[in-house]
Amino acid sequence: MENLWVVLALVCAFCLATSDAFTKRALSVHNEYLIAWLRLLLCLPFLLISFLFIRVPSLDGHFYRAFLIALPLEIIAMVLYMKALKVSPLSLTLPFLSLTPVFLIVIPSMILGEKVSSAGAIGVFLIAVGGYILNVGEFKKGFLEPFAALRREKGSLFMIAVAFIYSLTSSLGKMAIEHSSPLFFGITYFTVLVIFFTPLALYKGRDELRTVFEGGALRASIIPGMFYALMIVTHMLALSLTKVAYMISVKRMSLLIGVCYGYLLFGDPGIKGRLLGTALMVSGFMLITLFH
């Protein structure tokens, strides 16, 4: 099936948006580091069960280099992401996460030798712009306010760094997949990520460790963890079937799904005002899937 990666990427986007929606609900009452850690921790049982049904591939130096370079970058991105959410308003930080597809027009060509077509590049750009507009949606000072706030908002700079790091880790992940297998890399990578992230999360959330069991943080993280595990599996499978820029761009449709969740679950206003961003993202999606 030629476009199986599209189906997998859309399922990945849905799982990510669903996990984020339930995570947002948990973050309203629990420590952000503990919730991030629990979401990763609770996805492990689902991943490790999958490990029983896959073949362990032969590994080479390319796999280990990509794995070992991507891992610390992933942890840095997680920390910066948390800092961005903590020190600056969402409307000034989340729009910059849409820069990842733009970076991916260039980064994979440097690391993997992957080049996107003209139509594909336009589609990637439309999805990035649409995702940006979705996130500034109702911001009263205008669509360019996040850029205007760069000098005074550290969170915006943190999120730009996160977007760039994600373009690197996605490309390195594709390299590791090419020298192993999608599920093997996904399972081992996130297992090791949990091991290294655990001390940081426990230290940052040390004052609220009781809430893990007594405050319901563990229970609140089960659904986010389950959908995050499904996101990881579909992400790796889709990434193995197409170019990094295309897969991550379609995955960014999670921003659109997230807006719908915000309206349905949290009563977020202004869904009609986000129609332009929606139209741009759908147009970009169509360009990528039809003319890449």
pLDDT digits (tens, 9 = 90+) for 255-274: 888 878 877 776 766 666 67
Contact by Cβ (8 Å): 235, 186 = yes
Tally of domains in the chain:
1
178 against 276, higher pLDDT: 178
Q: How far apart are the first and last CA of the chain?
A: 16
Residue range(s) defining the domain that contains residue 197 = 4-291
DSSP, collapsed to helix, strand or coil, labels residue 251 as helix
Phi, psi of 104 (to 5 degrees): -75, -10
Residue 18's contacts (CB-CB under 8 Å, 6 or more residues apart) are: 223, 227, 257, 261
For the stretch 125-177, pLDDT in tens is: 999 888 887 766 555 566 666 676 667 777 788 888 999 999 999 999 999 99
Mean predicted confidence (pLDDT) in 5-29: 88
